[in-house]
Amino acid sequence: MTSSPRINAARFWDSLMEMAQIGGTPKGGVSRLALTEEDRIGRDLFARWATQAGCTLRVDAMGNMFARRPGRHESLSPVLTGSHGDSQPAGGKFDGIYGVLAGLEVIRTLNDHNIQTDRAIEVVNWTNEEGSRFAPAMIASGVYTGVFDLEYGLSRTDAKGISIGEALKDIGYAGNEPMGGREIHAAFELHIEQGPILEAEDITIGVVTGAQGQRWYEIELTGRSAHAGTTPMNHRLDALLGLSRVVEAVNAMGVAQGDEGRATVGWVNVFPNSRNVVPGRVLFSVEFRHPNEAVLEILDGELRREVVAIAEKTGLQHELKQIFQYAPIAFDAACIDSVERAAVELGYSHRKMISGAGHDACYLSKVAPTSMIFVPCVDGLSHNEAEHIHPHWAEAGANVLLLAMLDKAAR
């Protein structure tokens, strides 16, 4: 324990706070949407810091940035870390960028201690993880790992019809490096938990063993619009009534799965959406998340049966479409062990856990041994300007990342 290096906590925190000024909001968050001018300025700052730390910089066709510190044996595959620099429209200043700058701090610390690793160390800044400006989320890491093809990735457009390819050229980050296709020895992503578990249990490090699978649905219930004052209750075909019963059923399905269950109706359109008209149509989303694919399959069947039964009972027509499916992710056992050993060596409280959110590491795990490290965030709050982590949490996560990467870079 006494011989292991530690990051420079003050320098790391200063870097986080300086980056947070780019796109900073009055309430203390950031608005740094993917491939905007704010994102360009943040990218330029990361590139400058990485170059000052002695790294070479590569940018691929999706704008993913890779800062490389060479190893003793350049023929060996590298150890990779990083996350994303883009944010939600009114997001927090730690989501994503914490992991990018922690990787940079690892390199700075290795330089401070004149440590030469056998394998190269690389830090990646992934493009458009959030999916706030361009859908879907995690598009660039998805292209990198072959989940999506390059043409699809570059052609995604924002609300104004601007494509990712056009936006990359506009900000000067349309790189010419090929997408993926190279071996990575091990990969780690450090991130805030974005949930309340670690803080509630007073635990410093989350050793992430995998990520929940997801299934997304769009459901339409159709009845009949009618005058709210002249239509008796027993003559109504109220689509919103059907929605309310589906919402209750979906919530019960999630509760029935215990601690790992997640079931949400998060998006609703009501037609005609007038205060004195009985709603004749509703269009809404349902989302399930769980780390077990078999449970997701059970929830799928339950949802379909409930929608049919509710529609029949309320006299409504229905249409149900599954629009997205994302299988549960199991991270690499050896990478998980490296994270856990680092937490033990450093004396940090820790627990194994599943990620409830999707991350670039989930796609990366398809092509490289991968794991994640979580640190708490205050009140579990994220995707919010009030998102906050304490400096000692930030330091702890970066120290665990440092030791885990050193472990893998020496093999």
pLDDT tens digits, one per residue of 383-405: 999 999 999 999 999 999 999 99
Res 324: pLDDT: 86
Please check the confidence at residue 66 and state whether its pLDDT lies above 50: yes
Supply the mean pLDDT for the chain. 97
Task: Find how far residue 264's CA is from the centre of its chain.
Answer: 18
* Rounded percentage of the chain residues whose pLDDT exceeds 70: 100
Mean pLDDT of 350-363: 95
* Rounded percentage of the chain residues whose pLDDT exceeds 90: 96
Q: What is the pLDDT of residues 39-59, one digit of tens each?
A: 999 999 999 999 999 999 999
Nearest by Cα to 130 from 166, 156, 161: 156
Q: Which positions ≥6 away from 404 have C-beta within 8 Å?
A: 188, 335, 338, 339, 341, 342, 371, 373
CA dihedral (97, 102, 103, 104) positive or negative:
positive
Please check the confidence at residue 65 and state whether its pLDDT lies above 70: yes
Mean pLDDT of 19-40: 98
Res 382: pLDDT: 96
- Binding-site positions for Zn(2+) read 84, 95, 130, 191, 383
Query: Regarding beta strands 268-271 and 226-227, do their DSSP bridges make them parallel or antiparallel, or are they unpaired?
Result: unpaired
Instruction: Provide the pLDDT confidence category of residue 366 given band limits of 50, 70 and 90.
Output: very high
Res 3: pLDDT: 73
Cα separation of 411 and 408, whole Å?
6
Q: What tokens were used for 241?
A: 């009534």
H/E stretch holding 281 reads strand 281-290
CA atoms within 13 A on the CB side of 27: 11
Query: Regarding beta strands 370-375 and 205-211, do their DSSP bridges make them parallel or antiparallel, or are they unpaired?
Result: antiparallel
Cα separation of 335 and 20, whole Å?
30
List, in order of start, the domains of the chain with CATH numbers.
Answer: 9-211+328-409 (3.40.630.10), 213-326 (3.30.70.360)
- Binding-site positions read 84, 95, 130, 191, 383
Q: What tokens were used for 332?
A: 């690499």
Task: Find how far residue 93's CA is from the centre of its chain.
Answer: 14
Instruction: Provide the pLDDT confidence category of residue 365 given band limits of 50, 70 and 90.
Output: very high
Instruction: Provide the pLDDT confidence category of residue 319 given band limits of 50, 70 and 90.
Output: very high
| Polymer length of the chain | 411
Instruction: Provide the pLDDT confidence category of residue 411 given band limits of 50, 70 and 90.
Output: confident
Q: What is the pLDDT of residues 278-302, one digit of tens each?
A: 999 999 999 999 999 999 999 999 9
Q: What is the pLDDT of residues 177-218, one digit of tens each?
A: 999 999 999 999 999 999 999 999 999 999 999 999 999 999
Residue 166 identity: E
For helices 9-20 and 37-52, the axis angle rounded to 10 degrees is 150
Instruction: Provide the pLDDT confidence category of residue 104 given band limits of 50, 70 and 90.
Output: very high
CB atoms within 10 A of CB 56: 13
Q: What is the pLDDT of residues 149-170, one digit of tens each?
A: 999 999 999 999 999 999 999 9
Please check the confidence at residue 68 and state whether its pLDDT lies above 90: yes
Please check the confidence at residue 255 and state whether its pLDDT lies above 70: yes
Note if the bond before 136 is cis, omega within 30 degrees. Answer: yes
Res 1: pLDDT: 40
H/E stretch holding 373 reads strand 370-375
Torsion of CA 321, 322, 323, 326, to 10 degrees: 180
Cα separation of 244 and 238, whole Å?
10
DSSP state letters, 54-110: T-EEEEBTT--EEEEE--S-TTSPPEEEEEE----TTB-SSTTHHHHHHHHHHHHHH
Q: What tokens were used for 232?
A: 């008796």
Q: What tokens were used for 385?
A: 């300007």
Q: What is the pLDDT of residues 325-356, one digit of tens each?
A: 888 999 999 999 999 999 999 999 999 999 99
Res 31: pLDDT: 98
pTM for this predicted structure: 0.89
Mean pLDDT of 68-79: 97
Please check the confidence at residue 69 and state whether its pLDDT lies above 80: yes
Res 203: pLDDT: 98
Cα separation of 212 and 260, whole Å?
9
Cα separation of 2 and 378, whole Å?
30
Residue 188 identity: F
Residue 161 identity: G
Res 126: pLDDT: 98
Please check the confidence at residue 358 and state whether its pLDDT lies above 70: yes
Torsion of CA 241, 242, 248, 251, to 10 degrees: -140
Q: Which positions ≥6 away from 395 have C-beta within 8 Å?
A: 7, 9, 12, 13
Nearest by Cα to 372 from 235, 251, 207, 139: 207
Res 242: pLDDT: 98
Res 2: pLDDT: 46
Res 326: pLDDT: 85
Mean pLDDT of 219-248: 98
